[in-house]
């Protein structure tokens, strides 16, 4: 075992953080939220050679996928999305009706590893609290603070980084989109809405059908994905079926 000092440990951590974070100050894509849709987007974009970073306010990735349905750690996906999961080594059990089941913990772990292996950078404990805008109101970056600072209600000025595109994958509350609209009075989304109506009650089939077409740019420089997309367009929630998230 090598001899090591506490100072050296601290030094290595600070140096490694500074190098990694400094490399993320100019991105192609910044993803807010490390749930299934955010991680899938990060993996796909990184595989295309884009510089991508994911920012998650919690100290864990995966969003609500860890708990499966009501803490039963299994998820359901449609056969249309199954190959996306098989491609990264997630084991699926075919069931009737064109559906498959998967272990929720395996799904979170392998999607995370696949995004990292593709070249995406993932930050936990960092909250996207606002966006950066530039000419004509285009979204051009994200404003970050520690999730713990946000939870404590402390007044601490944030840091910002630039990105050619921002993806709101913050889940049911569509937090990035809501914050943008609250800061720009009179701003309208692509479909003319001045606000976020929120998701409708559960209707799994309709929610899944709406999710893919809802995943799109809703404001210059801002794309919505996952449950944030259905919240922005007022579509139903789906429960523990995740095919639309991955597609």
Is residue 121 included in any domain, yes or no?
yes
pLDDT bracket for residue 171 (50, 70, 90) = very high
Q: Is the pLDDT of residue 1 over 90?
A: no
Average pLDDT over residues 168-179: 97
Q: State the pLDDT at residue 192.
A: 79
Q: State the pLDDT at residue 146.
A: 98
Average pLDDT over residues 75-100: 96
pLDDT 10s digits, 97-109: 999 999 999 999 9
Please name which of 28, 24, 40, 45 lies closest in space to residue 165, comparing C-alpha atoms: 28
Q: State the pLDDT at residue 85.
A: 97
pLDDT bracket for residue 193 (50, 70, 90) = confident
Is residue 123 included in any domain, yes or no?
yes
pLDDT bracket for residue 40 (50, 70, 90) = very high
pLDDT bracket for residue 122 (50, 70, 90) = very high
Q: State the pLDDT at residue 170.
A: 98
**Inter-residue contact 62 to 110 (CB < 8 Å):** no
Extract the tokens encoding 11: 């030094």
HEC readout, the chain? CCCCCHHHHHHHHHHHHHHHHHCCCEEEEEEECCCHHHHHHHHHHHHCCCCEEEEECCCCCCHHHCCCECCECEEEEEHHHHHHHHCCCCCEEEECCCEEEEEHHHHHHHHHHHHHHHCCEEEECEEEEEEEECHHHCEEEEEEEEHHHHHHCCCCCCEEEEEEEEEECCHHHCHHHHHHHHHCCCCCCCCCCCCCCCCECCCHHHHHHHHHHHCEEEECCEEECCHHHHHHHCCECCCCECHHHHC
CATH code of the domain containing 174: 3.50.50.60
Mean pLDDT of the chain: 96
**Domains: count for the chain:** 1
Dist CA 69 CA 166 (whole Å): 29
Q: State the pLDDT at residue 191.
A: 85
Is residue 1 included in any domain, yes or no?
no
Least-confidence region, from 1-5, 157-161, 175-179, 229-233:
1-5
Q: How far is CA 109 from the centre of its chain?
A: 15
**What is the extent of the structural domain holding 154?**
6-246
């Amino acid at each position: 075992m090598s001899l090591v000092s506490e100072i050296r440990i601290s030094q290595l951590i600070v140096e490694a953080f500074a190098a990694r974070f400094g490399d993320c100050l100019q991105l192609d894509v910044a993803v807010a939220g490390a749930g299934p849709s955010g991680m899938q987007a990060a993996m796909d974009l990184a595989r295309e050679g884009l510089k991508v970073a994911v920012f998650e306010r919690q100290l864990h990735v995966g969003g609500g996928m860890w708990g499966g349905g009501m803490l039963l750690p299994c998820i359901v996906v449609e056969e249309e999305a199954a190959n996306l999961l098989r491609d990264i080594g997630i084991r699926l059990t075919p069931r009737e009706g064109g559906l498959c089941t998967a272990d929720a913990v395996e799904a979170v772990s392998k999607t995370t590893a696949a995004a990292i292996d593709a070249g995406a950078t993932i930050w936990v404990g960092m909250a996207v609290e606002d966006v950066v805008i530039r000419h004509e109101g285009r979204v051009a970056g994200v404003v970050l603070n520690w999730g713990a600072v946000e939870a404590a209600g402390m007044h601490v000025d944030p840091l910002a980084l630039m990105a050619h595109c921002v993806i709101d994958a913050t889940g049911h509350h569509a937090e990035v989109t809501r914050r943008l609209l609250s800061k720009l009075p009179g701003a309208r989304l692509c479909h003319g809405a001045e606000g976020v109506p929120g998701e409708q009650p559960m209707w799994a089939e309709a929610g899944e059908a709406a999710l893919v077409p809802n995943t799109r740019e809703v404001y210059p420089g801002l794309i919505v994905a996952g449950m944030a997309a259905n919240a922005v367009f007022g579509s139903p929630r789906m429960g523990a079926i995740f095919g639309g998230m991955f597609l």
